[in-house]
A and B are shown apart, each in its own frame.
Chain A
Amino acid sequence: MTTIETNSPLTNSNPNVFRDAATMTRRNLLRLSRTPQVIVFSTIQPVMFVLLFNFVFGGSIDTGTSYINFLVPGVLVQTSMFAGSNTAIGLAQDLESGAIDRFRSLPMARSAVLIGRTLADATRTLITSTVVVIIGFILGFRPSGGPLAVIAAVLLGILFAQAFTWVFTFMALKVKDVEAVQAAAFLPVFPLVFAASTFAPVENMPDWLQQFASRQPVTLTIDAMRDIFDGTNPGSSLFWSLVWIFGILAVASTLAIRTFNKN
């Protein structure tokens, strides 16, 4: 069997996972740029949380600092958790449309399909996080750590979002159906976001709930972000937050990529 050289596909090299991930990220960002309404609505939601909690509960909750300073880091993490469920929905849509089958039939690094999606979603979370911080500033959010501290704290939030995005990715691959995924994604989100120091201090919760709330990743990450925003040493909360983040990232991404490669 002879092969015409000019007609042969490039098969020599193994697919480059970084290049493929960049291509897939570009695809998802292009999609995002064509649906600005998605960005608008996914930004309105956290802004509403900032406004509502600040004005409705702000006066009643004693946090030891100004409530808006307490609230902004909480909303940043809450937003990223909610945004993660969008990842699951988008992936389930791709699975249904046949787009994923097309990608899986290409000589690409398959994991890039998932990496590209989570990276594009991290970009979206960065946009909404920036808006939340700006709204916070308008309402009197004054972290004492300076601009670099703000950037560091927001990045920790993004890293946290990235870890949970992989959890939702795994869920989407298991559940597959768009509507089921949408419903399922909220199951882990609500207890983690509300049984935490997101909107109110853990110390005021009943003892049994404190046991859970003070050890779970959302509280630890938000507490670390609060300290970073203020330029104080976050100490063990940052350490345990990172342990959670990288632990979740490692387990969820391994499970998701394995599930995706298998079928």
Chain B
Amino acid sequence: MIIQANGIEVDFGSVKALDGVSLSVADGEVRGLLGPNGAGKTTLVNVLTTLLTPTAGTATVDGLDVCTQSREVRSRIGLAGQYAAVDNLLTGRENLEIVGRLYQLPKAVAKARADEALERLSLTDAGDRQVRTYSGGMRRRLDLGASLVGRPKVLILDEPTTGLDPRTRIELWEFLRELVGEGTTVLLTTQYLEEADELADQISVIDSGKLIAEGTADELKAQMGGDLLVARPADRELVAQVAEIVSGLTGSEARISETGEVSAPVSNKVETLVRVASALKDAGIQISEIAVQQPTLDDVFLSLTGDDTSTDEESSVIQ
């Protein structure tokens, strides 16, 4: 395990920011650390990057203790933070060279690595401009570049796309996907389920300082009880009739939502969908919407963190 944390606790006064978090990340793995604001993601990152000494517990990176061998740990990690810690008054190249020098690289190597990072993140043309002229997306890319110049074994990305508009986020994902495809171990914190789904192999869900679930995106979704057939009649009066047909064909009792949606769990999704659709057609019921839905990570997340009110039943399944 290249990252190994055991029972990490962090107290800020009377507040427990982390309450016994254990985490194992294998070499080359891309791990998503998913949680809402204030869940403890950044606190865990600060422990692993030696910025914060935990109140209790131990953690190692590449076999090195983050408390007693912090300097060695720091030479093996790269950190890109949520604040995009690049200097506005310096040029992109100067920012990268300075970080390279502080990774204890000789001058010429720092220069070459800076050029290389600019190239990889499509910033070569902007390299000699002051960062204050950069767009939000360019700043994030430069921040990523700065975390790469030391060629870290472990890359820690703390909410790399927070605050970006959707288009820029997708653009940044392209770069991240390329990076994570190269075999570097990545720990990525995010509050966007979509982001964890897109980039991570394994996802750890954290809430209120505790890890509450772990698995691949598919495993987490499977915990929600599989696929759901959803049908909505054009005429709301007919929901009961629709529910009867759906129940009959899926073999499980259909639920009727307040918005006039009929849903039931299905196993054989395509076949059932076709049969339900033709049965409704035969009954002369006009359907405005019919689909098989996979639970999204949002559903998983909401039910795990208990913030959702409409899926109480599902959340009890997961417990």
- Given known A104-B51, A106-B103, A108-B104, contact A31–B75 (CB-CB < 8 A): no
Q: Which of A7, A9, A101 contacts B103 (CB 8 A)?
A: A9
Binding site for A on B (CB under 8 A): 2, 27, 46, 49-52, 71-72, 74-77, 79, 81-87, 89-90, 94, 98-99, 101-105, 130, 146, 150-153
Contact check, A15 vs B89: say whether CB atoms are below 8 A apart.
no
Contacts of A103 in B (CB 8 A): 102
Contact check, A9 vs B84: say whether CB atoms are below 8 A apart.
no
State the Cβ distance, B33 to closest chain A Cβ, in Å.
Answer: 17
Q: Does A98 contact B (CB under 8 A)?
A: yes
Contacts of B2 in A (CB 8 A): 1
Contacts of B94 in A (CB 8 A): 27, 30
Contact check, A35 vs B76: say whether CB atoms are below 8 A apart.
no
Contact check, A107 vs B74: say whether CB atoms are below 8 A apart.
yes
Closest to A16 in B: B104
Q: Which of B71, B74, B81 contacts A98 (CB 8 A)?
A: B81
Q: How large is the interface on A (under 10, 10 to 19, 20 to 34, 35 or more residues)?
A: 20 to 34
State the Cβ distance, A158 to closest chain B Cβ, in Å.
Answer: 24
Closest to B80 in A: A102
Contact check, B101 vs A23: say whether CB atoms are below 8 A apart.
yes
- Given known A11-B76, A34-B130, A106-B103, contact A101–B90 (CB-CB < 8 A): no
Pairs across A and B, CB under 8 Å, 10 listed: A1-B2, A10-B75, A23-B98, A23-B101, A34-B130, A99-B86, A102-B99, A103-B102, A104-B51, A107-B102
Contact check, B81 vs A101: say whether CB atoms are below 8 A apart.
yes
- The CA-CA distance from A107 to B101 in the complex, in Å, is 10
Ordered nearest first, which 5 A-B pairs have the shortest CB separation? A98-B83, A107-B75, A102-B85, A98-B85, A108-B102
- Given known A26-B98, A27-B87, A27-B90, contact A105–B49 (CB-CB < 8 A): yes
Q: Does A97 contact B (CB under 8 A)?
A: yes
Closest to A7 in B: B151
Contact check, B75 vs A11: say whether CB atoms are below 8 A apart.
yes
- The CA-CA distance from A97 to B49 in the complex, in Å, is 18
Contact check, A15 vs B98: say whether CB atoms are below 8 A apart.
no
State the Cβ distance, B28 to closest chain A Cβ, in Å.
Answer: 10
Contacts of A104 in B (CB 8 A): 50-51
Closest to B146 in A: A102
Contact check, B89 vs A106: say whether CB atoms are below 8 A apart.
no
State the Cβ distance, A248 to closest chain B Cβ, in Å.
Answer: 28
Q: Does A20 contact B (CB under 8 A)?
A: yes
Contacts of A10 in B (CB 8 A): 75, 103-105
Contact check, A11 vs B49: say whether CB atoms are below 8 A apart.
no
- The CA-CA distance from A97 to B131 in the complex, in Å, is 14
Contact check, A1 vs B27: say whether CB atoms are below 8 A apart.
yes
Contact check, A34 vs B71: say whether CB atoms are below 8 A apart.
no
- Given known A1-B27, A30-B90, contact A105–B79 (CB-CB < 8 A): yes
- The CA-CA distance from A15 to B89 in the complex, in Å, is 26
Q: Does A263 contact B (CB under 8 A)?
A: yes
Q: Does A65 contact B (CB under 8 A)?
A: no
Closest to B83 in A: A98
Closest to A106 in B: B102
Contacts of A107 in B (CB 8 A): 71-72, 74-75, 102-104, 150
Closest to A6 in B: B151
Q: Which of A8, A23, A30, A105 contacts B77 (CB 8 A)?
A: A105
Contacts of A60 in B (CB 8 A): none
Which of B76, B79, B84, B101 has the largest number of chain A CB atoms within 10 A? B101
- The CA-CA distance from A7 to B113 in the complex, in Å, is 12
User: In A232-252, which residues have CB < 8 Å from any B CB?
Assistant: none
Contacts of B86 in A (CB 8 A): 99
Contacts of B71 in A (CB 8 A): 14-15, 107
Quick one: CB contact mask for A1-42 with B, threshold 8 Å, 1 for yes?
A: 101000111110111100110010011001100110000000
Contacts of B79 in A (CB 8 A): 101-102, 105
State the Cβ distance, B189 to closest chain A Cβ, in Å.
Answer: 14
Closest to B106 in A: A10
